[in-house]
Amino acid sequence: MTALAPASTRTVEPRRHRTRDWGRAVRAFQRLMADKEDTSQVFAIMHALDGDACKVDYVRLLATPDGGRIAYQRLELSEKLMDDAWRASFPPGSVGAAYANFLATEHLSAAGMIDESHKGIPPEELDRFHPYAWFFRRVRDLHDVWHVLTGYGRDALGEMCLVAFSFQETHGLGWALIAGGGFLRAHGPAAGKARKAILEARRRGKRAAWLPGEDYEKLLFEPLEDARRRLGLTPPVAYEAVPADLRNLTII
């Protein structure tokens, strides 16, 4: 590669070297395979394998047109998403309305996600007053919004697909480990189709806009179809081709 400008080489120097803790990751992965509903293990895996992903993404955010303002205001999205009055203001057909509907039908809440993340990651790391930790919390809070945007359900295959999609968006290695594990464990009559769906998810993530850089206070008010088109989110054809009754069976 070509020599870097002095300014760029200096950027490289003061990196916060976060090493990857593979032992912890593997143990958490085994616990996750034993109990698929134990979301806290997902956070433990991500935390163990994240490395510098959040840092790189945060710097990337600052380079986007809206990202500087978003980072400066550093809104905690979970607080907004738990605000019932704000959620009630989502217009019909909007991303926000679909999101609220998704939470209601799946019996989920933004608070539930936060609790799981606290079980997987020590609070002094997760709740830190640090821009990188803020960015991590932001991606956590966006997970269910991404379910709605990408069209992946909460079944085991849908989660795997979203994890593969998220790896492409954030490059957190934990996501790749989980998606790769799901890919290898696919079995039963729809194994081939499920693997196709996971590969498609990664491809969609590559082609789509960079979702962590979006302004969600606006995006949630956008009509769902318009938002998908603007963000380059094509329909999840391979995922939808897997029969609904097999989506949970193929991975677990």
Partner 1 sequence: MTELSPATSRLVRHSRRRGRDWKGALSAVRKLIADKEDTAQVYAIMHALNGNAYEVDYVRLLATPDGGRIAYERVELADRLVDEAWRATFPPGSVGEAYLAFLETEHISVQGLIDESHKGIPPAELDQEHPYVWFFRRFRDIHDILHVLTGYGRDALGETCLLAFSYQETHDLGRAVMAYGGYLRAHGPAKAQARKAINEARRRARHAAWLPGEDFETLLFEPLDAARARLRLTPPLAYDAVPAELRNLTTV
Binding site for partner 1 (CB under 8 A): 1, 3-16, 51-53, 55-56, 59-60, 62-63, 68-69, 71-74, 128-134, 171
Q: How far is the CB of 14 from partner 1 (least distance, A)?
A: 4
Which residue number, 34 or 63, has a Cβ lying nearer to partner 1?
63
Q: How far is the CB of 167 from partner 1 (least distance, A)?
A: 13
Cα–Cα nearest to 147, from 166, 131, 169, 162 = 162
* Cβ atoms of 179 and 198 closer than 8 Å: yes
Measured from the Cβ of residue 224, the count of other Cβ atoms closer than 10 Å reads 17
Q: How far is the CB of 121 from partner 1 (least distance, A)?
A: 16
Which residue number, 130 or 206, has a Cβ lying nearer to partner 1?
130
Strand, helix or coil for residue 223: strand
Which residue number, 24 or 55, has a Cβ lying nearer to partner 1?
55
Which residue number, 129 or 245, has a Cβ lying nearer to partner 1?
129
Q: How far is the CB of 124 from partner 1 (least distance, A)?
A: 12
Q: Cα(101)–Cα(68) distance, rounded to whole angstroms?
A: 31
CA distances from 52 to 11, 20, 120, 171, 176 (A): 13, 9, 18, 9, 15
